[in-house]
Amino acid sequence: MKSRWTERGPLIPLCLSLFVVSLSGTARAQADADKADDAPRAPAESAPPESPAPSKAEGPEPPKPEPEKAPAPEPPPHESPKTAEAPVAPLSVEILPGAAYPEPRVRGLKGGSLWLTMHGLQWPYMPQLPGQSPVRLGISGSLWDDTAYARIISGTPDTDKSQKRWTNQSRAVLRVTPTYSTNAGWFAQSQIELVANGDQLVPSSNNLGAVDDLYFRVGKWNVFDVTVGRFQGWEVYHYGMGLDLNTLERHGAEGRNNPTKPPQVYGLDFFWDRPNGGAGDFAAHVYFTDYLRLEMLGQIGTQNGSNATAFRPVGILDLGYVKLKLGFEYGSVKPQQDDALDSSSRNGIGGAVQFVLNPYLEGGVNGAIGYVDSVNFQGLRDSVGSTTTKSVGGFLNGRLIDNLLVGFGAHLTRLDNLETNGTQGSPNFGKSDVYTHFLAFAAVQYALWDKVFIKFVGSRASFTFDDYLQDPPHSFTNGLWGGRLRLMYLF
């Protein structure tokens, strides 16, 4: 602070003026250090208040002597941070940082398929930051585009010709996540995922826009939460770097005009995905430690005009370098009309063992078995609609150089129909139809800036249908060779 002289009054001795200024500065510094508030303060953007001037008397101002050069008094320190503290904004809008994707123990090789899986962790993880608003609005999402080719060799060329098939698929997701958190760790969070679809092999592929996640969650970070709405359950069965959801290679050796379709891999996923048709999810998540967690997932609502209920508990032991996952599911669909006898139920069990040798290697093996039991309108078992599906598979991903990964995987699925051959004297008497589907892939991926991923997947599939119901049988085998290039951007 600069001292100033009064414009009227008697001569003030120079030594007294310097003494008062120095004393004022010293007192102010001491007051600031003790966080006292004895003197009035000015707003943070204004200059500090001036030191008090000595008392004045009337009279002409004498000529000013040339003062001796003396050290200028030090200016007083800035005002206490209390007075300069800026108000906290009521809302923080942000692109989700890396910390929103928690990793208390290593998830997987960076850029690999396990790294892109959250293993049941609470995400987006958005606690209140020190000195920031308790309300955060997170923005994130992804966009990918696939160009794929498949050569499908038909085992029934008379009725279903072999094909050379090109396809392009694309998908963009914009994720909005408003979150309120307290200093004690309690939170309320909702999430909506807006989707723009290209030509995808999903029931809603003719829609240009759709919604994936749409849920509300409340709980305490790293302790528990309750979630309701539309969302996916915890993953158990992991495919690896190939066979991505909704892609041509995942459907395998499927003929276009053949009504007999290959069975899809069963990965404890009867009730894993987001439900459609008027049903919704509810779940309780418990985090016993940073490596042991449990999900109790349920579904309830309407599907195809019938009442649907289900539950799916999954437990995960995640030590980082080793991950163990185990789950069970059961659900039923019953008509809404009184006295209706038809119904169906589905249940299954599955597990996975995964390992991560960061930053060089990751892999795992999976297995699951699922049952479908149908009852017809007479209250009798519908053997044609009752099946047993068994799947087993594994994957291995490795890092060649910093941003270059390779991955391999193979999965085998067998479906048995419970309808048996009832023709006496037939060599197939008592046998049921068997559907066997083998899928394999090799993938190579290069990452740019940890945001852009360029991946090529080569795939092979074989589907064999063993017909034991008809005499003579009509068995066949389809084959597939394919390739797919994916460009993906994450933000």
Domain residue limits, the chain: 1-86, 92-490
Mean local confidence (pLDDT), 259-274: 96
Residue 52's pLDDT band (cuts 50, 70, 90): very low
The confidence score (pLDDT) of residue 18 equals: 36
Between 429 and 76, residue with greater pLDDT: 429
User: Is the predicted pLDDT of residue 172 greater than 90, yes or no?
Assistant: yes
pTM to 2 decimal places: 0.80
User: Is the predicted pLDDT of residue 297 greater than 50, yes or no?
Assistant: yes
Mean local confidence (pLDDT), 178-207: 83
Residue 104 CB partners (closer than 8 Å, separation 6+): 121, 290, 291
The confidence score (pLDDT) of residue 202 equals: 55
Residue 35's pLDDT band (cuts 50, 70, 90): very low
The confidence score (pLDDT) of residue 200 equals: 57
> What are the CA-CA distances from residue 127 to residues 94, 115, 134, 141, 477 (Å)?
13, 22, 8, 20, 54
Least confident segment among 170-184, 192-206, 231-245, 323-337 = 192-206
Q: How many CB atoms lie within 10 A of CB 45?
A: 6
Residue 276's pLDDT band (cuts 50, 70, 90): confident
**SS3 letters across the chain:** CCCCCCCCCCCCCHHHHHHHHHHHHHHHHHHHHCCCCCCCCCCCCCCCCCCCCCCCCCCCCCCCCCCCCCCCCCCCCCCCHHHHCCCCCCCEEEECCHHHCCCCCCCCCCCCCCCCCCCCCCCCCCCCCCCCCCEEEEEEEEEEEEEEEEEEECCCCCCCCCEEEEEEEEEEEEEEEEEEECCCCEEEEEEEEEEEECCCCCCCCCCCEEEEEEEEEEEECCCEEEEEEECCCCCCCCCCCCCCCCCHHHHCCCCCCCCCCCCCCCCCCCCCCCCCCCEEEEEEEEECCCCEEEEEEEEEEEECCEEEEEEEEEEEEECCCEEEEEEEEEEEEEECCCCCCCEEEEEEEEEEEEEEECCCEEEEEEEEEEEEEEECCCCCECCCCCEEEEEEEEEEEEEEECCEEEEEEEEEEEEEEEEECCCCCCCCCCCEEEEEEEEEEEEEEEEECCCEEEEEEEEEEEEEEECCCCCCCCCEEEEEEEEEEEEEEEC
Mean local confidence (pLDDT), 249-269: 95
User: Is the predicted pLDDT of residue 296 greater than 90, yes or no?
Assistant: yes
Between 138 and 20, residue with greater pLDDT: 138
The confidence score (pLDDT) of residue 13 equals: 35
Between 208 and 192, residue with greater pLDDT: 192
CATH architecture classification, 92-490: Beta Barrel (2.40)
The confidence score (pLDDT) of residue 304 equals: 86
Mean pLDDT of the chain: 86
User: Is the predicted pLDDT of residue 43 greater than 70, yes or no?
Assistant: no
The confidence score (pLDDT) of residue 210 equals: 86
Would you say 317 and 323 are in contact if contact means Cβ atoms under 8 Å apart? yes
Q: What is the amino acid identity at position 459?
A: S
Residue 135's pLDDT band (cuts 50, 70, 90): very high
The confidence score (pLDDT) of residue 100 equals: 97
Residue 15's pLDDT band (cuts 50, 70, 90): very low
